[in-house]
Structure 1
């Protein structure tokens, strides 16, 4: 009974602390393009249209991903409206659930201390924390895959009976939900990890007690209906989704540097920071000493295989994005936690001592590289001084925290050093998260949408020029015209008539010179080119350091003196002079 009470206290404490960590400032930053705009707009359109079968992006069919995350986002929109907090809520919830799942599983495998440390390590790893605050599918699928594999591992520890059945059913359910979130990796990764583990430790007999018939039935019951429904409604779906989005995307070669086979090595090392300092020691600690001993370390072997195979699978893939290796972070957190828990009561482990120095050296390296490259990242920003100030603040936190960890570890033992390292990581993440607000004007058009939305009438045309600003339709809560760009809308634009809002330059200028009021959002470089060589009249309404909002009409608002909202330069108003004279711009 006392043990159950401690489980409850731990879960309550972790739930509150993790909720505060992932929830703090969740809605402060604007939606960033492309990912956050995309994964907010699709569910918004579902809510507006009532069609939860066929995903659409800016009114165009969008079959790149299954709909589970969109459905969850739709619930959030209905409950809390369209805002940054509600749209990021589910990503934070999944990050929170992932840490709790790691705690429960690590405690079941290696004890209470390992469970608590595993939750801390996972929550404060740089990439995991960051992805818990960005609207993408990666956190959701990572947590669902992790829950699936952890449920399977838990099930192998239970005798045949009700508890094993529930655990194995949970494995199939979570795998199905992962499949409904990001496609066939919900099947491929669990099958790859479990099959390799069974072969390595010669545990094929588990197949007889996995409740395969009922488990597969559960999987199909959850994963299949939407795939059937969307295929019936859209005959073109199956070929694009299964062939193009899965097979061809995995195999098609890219020449970009990030698509090299080693690309995920720096992602892993930086993404696991600061706990990278103990990664090598943890792997060595958990590896069986000999081939024969693998049977006595089956759980550790499973976790190592899980992390390693995910890394290899995505490294071999021709399609690589930074968050793809996120599913390897939960098993690595458990492995590191097992090592750190074993060192908790020890006076002096060489691996722990070396970890302090690695943490300090890595922190110094990051500070030097960060400050050296700072001019590149702040180029073009009017508030570059604030950005530089945030970088100096992060640098101070890292250096002072790493020094404190080293001193405390050497003089007061590992417990104090662990607390110092955790505090350093939390403070670093909070300062970095707060500084991201300063990048809003380059990654979002929220401020310009705020200027435009009160002016809009239903008949007005809003055009995104030679780009698709994915957050624009979210903030305007309406479809926009996309000019001279197709990108990821190409497939959907090719299977149905979208010619009224996916247009070329000629169609835009025809509307521009017509009776309707037309607004264009364009980046500053293209705006300067348009102004220099176009015969069309432009009336700039507002601008940021990176984008300009134009209109083809001048209204009474532009004739009044007005200050722009926070983050915008002053409005500019061009007076169009008679032919032969130069157009001049004047601050008003």
Structure 2
């Protein structure tokens, strides 16, 4: 196959995964709607130093990730694709850097290109890389940092080495301004053991201060500016977002030490069959192949660090998939007998995964299934069929990729394709009604837009309302959630209305205009009629409820 044909096929594959389906998937709350709204408010206010959420101070993350998201919304407008463009761009650029690193390490275009394809089609990478959160942006800066250090390793002159360490400092600075001190921990954890193993620790000590100086100089203007505007930002961001989240007994998202093992295994699909052999081969080659040892250190040390931390989320180990992709690609072209077996095992894993998930969908959670409470409703046959077709496609490609002859094992890259194209149509209505509020908001859009006051009891749903209506003046009823810190400021306390004070608040404020209240019901779906004044208008869609109170001058 000619190079031009291969390039065209790769671009088409990329478009089918990362471009075509994106606009057809509604935004998820709370993450996507949160980052969409924060970036929208930043663009609207032309204030690019302090992040605000509903015009409230929001100190959970630094600012650089919002800058990338700003570009997406500037270029592609007020669209779902515009919200996700920053994550997609960052993931794509990470794949390009992986290609560069593969060429430098293994002197093989084939290994480098396969590594990028494995990376882009890995389930965890694709899931997060097309999802509007900050983790794909952080991933870009971490991959940039690791590539920059490898540039210093290859340097033949002091000028080349200087360039590498300066780029490393710049990548660390951008990573720090995207998600904080975590961006500094991962490169240190991955590079330090390898440098000691390769007897390069002395060089690292000599040149390291330059990297630190570059990182400080690049991040200092924003760090000083936000400290000047909001003096308690660093106290909150360091102690609450770093120490408490990762180390203290009350850390968020607590999980056991082994939490990331199933995440890693599922995230490696559809390449899971190559995982054990690639890690084992890299360990065996640690003394002969510096590149494989470098990638292994990049996988294992951050993985161990995140496993030890009390707070855990699947997105935290996303940086581990960049080196894993190159290790798998290098292993795939090693030509050993074990690799041929791994290809076959990988095909069987994908085939069985497709078959089992299809059966679970059709036999258990479909409306006619065996589950006591099916996930799909009786009128969602089309959604069930879309889901089944997605996993049937996975199984078919797994079956075709079982034989390694003529590189058929590479067909595994097509296993998630039908899922990527159809997942937006296969989501059950009950999930859409709680996690994708855009369809609910579209029904009550005019009623919300014509309201003088808007209230919500859930920040995720409130951010969807704010983004859709392009207004940030949402008040909060009964629950504060992640906005507790922002609402604690004296100038923001009026934005919160306690449940027992709502009737009195409503009596005063509806004299100034219409009041709308959006509620997220509990999993039991019980309406709060007994706790609220009778509304003039009610609309319910699943767990989302709209209460309208007409103006009463």
TM-score (norm 1): 0.84
CA contact (8 A) 2:145 2:187 kept: yes
For residues 283-333 of structure 1, what are the alpha-carbon distances to aligned partners after superposition, in whole Å with 9 as ceiling and x for unaligned? 1222235xxxx4422211111111111211111111111111100000000
Partner of 1:123: 120
The CA deviation at 1:79 is: 3.9
Q: 2 CA distance for matches of 1:527 and 1:510?
A: 26
Aligned counterpart for 2:244 among listed residues 231, 248, 272:
248
SS class of match (1:520):
strand
Q: 1 CA distance for matches of 2:344 and 2:196?
A: 37
Map of 1:394-543 to 2, 5 A cutoff?
394-406=390-402, 408-409=403-404, 413=405, 415-418=407-410, 420-436=411-427, 439-456=431-448, 460-465=452-457, 468-469=460-461, 470-478=463-471, 479-513=473-507, 514-515=510-511, 516-524=513-521, 528-531=526-529, 533-534=530-531, 536-543=533-540
CA contact (8 A) 1:381 1:545 kept: no
SS class of match (1:296):
coil
CA contact (8 A) 1:126 1:429 kept: no
**Residues 84, 518 of structure 1: CA spacing in aligned structure 2 closer, same or farther, 3 A cutoff?**
same
User: Does 2:550 match 1:553?
Assistant: yes
CA contact (8 A) 1:460 1:517 kept: yes
Partner of 1:222: 218
Aligned counterpart for 2:146 among listed residues 146, 149, 168:
149
Q: 2 CA distance for matches of 1:208 and 1:499?
A: 50
**Residues 253, 378 of structure 1: CA spacing in aligned structure 2 closer, same or farther, 3 A cutoff?**
farther
Q: 1 CA distance for matches of 2:395 and 2:74?
A: 45
Aligned residues: 538
Partner of 1:353: 344
For residues 22-42 of structure 1, what are the alpha-carbon distances to aligned partners after superposition, in whole Å with 9 as ceiling and x for unaligned? 111222222211001111111
Map of 1:248-267 to 2, 5 A cutoff?
248-253=244-249, 259-267=255-263
CA contact (8 A) 1:231 1:238 kept: yes
CA contact (8 A) 2:539 2:547 kept: yes
CA contact (8 A) 2:390 2:422 kept: yes
Q: 2 CA distance for matches of 1:422 and 1:310?
A: 26
For residues 350-377 of structure 1, what are the alpha-carbon distances to aligned partners after superposition, in whole Å with 9 as ceiling and x for unaligned? 3333333344344444445555663579
Q: 2 CA distance for matches of 1:223 and 1:374?
A: 50
For residues 404-445 of structure 1, what are the alpha-carbon distances to aligned partners after superposition, in whole Å with 9 as ceiling and x for unaligned? 222x43xxx150232x22222333433335534864332122
SS class of match (1:485):
coil
Partner of 1:94: 90
SS class of match (1:27):
helix
For residues 331-355 of structure 1, what are the alpha-carbon distances to aligned partners after superposition, in whole Å with 9 as ceiling and x for unaligned? 00000000112239x8983333333
**Residues 355, 343 of structure 1: CA spacing in aligned structure 2 closer, same or farther, 3 A cutoff?**
farther
Map of 1:154-303 to 2, 5 A cutoff?
154-207=151-204, 210=207, 212-253=208-249, 259-288=255-284, 294-303=286-295
**Residues 356, 449 of structure 1: CA spacing in aligned structure 2 closer, same or farther, 3 A cutoff?**
closer
The CA deviation at 1:47 is: 1.8
Q: 2 CA distance for matches of 1:325 and 1:267?
A: 9
The CA deviation at 1:55 is: 0.9
**Residues 444, 361 of structure 1: CA spacing in aligned structure 2 closer, same or farther, 3 A cutoff?**
closer
CA contact (8 A) 1:518 1:553 kept: yes
TM-score (norm 2): 0.89
Larger Rg: 1
Q: 2 CA distance for matches of 1:20 and 1:221?
A: 41
* Stretch deviating more after TM superposition (388-397 or 313-322): 388-397
Partner of 1:577: none
Q: 2 CA distance for matches of 1:449 and 1:433?
A: 18
The CA deviation at 1:497 is: 2.5
Q: What's the C-alpha RMSD, in Å, of the aligned pairs?
A: 3.0
User: Does 2:285 match 1:322?
Assistant: no
Partner of 2:302: 310
CA contact (8 A) 2:349 2:398 kept: no
SS class of match (2:539):
strand
CA contact (8 A) 1:66 1:183 kept: yes
SS class of match (1:287):
helix
Q: 1 CA distance for matches of 2:341 and 2:66?
A: 48
Q: 2 CA distance for matches of 1:396 and 1:120?
A: 22
Q: 2 CA distance for matches of 1:11 and 1:179?
A: 35
Partner of 1:582: none
Q: 2 CA distance for matches of 1:83 and 1:356?
A: 38
Map of 1:130-141 to 2, 5 A cutoff?
130-141=127-138
The CA deviation at 1:216 is: 2.8
**Residues 460, 178 of structure 1: CA spacing in aligned structure 2 closer, same or farther, 3 A cutoff?**
same
The CA deviation at 1:242 is: 0.9
The CA deviation at 1:544 is: 1.7
Q: 2 CA distance for matches of 1:132 and 1:98?
A: 10
The CA deviation at 1:378 is: 5.6
Q: Which runs of 5+ in 2 are unaligned?
A: none
The CA deviation at 1:115 is: 0.7
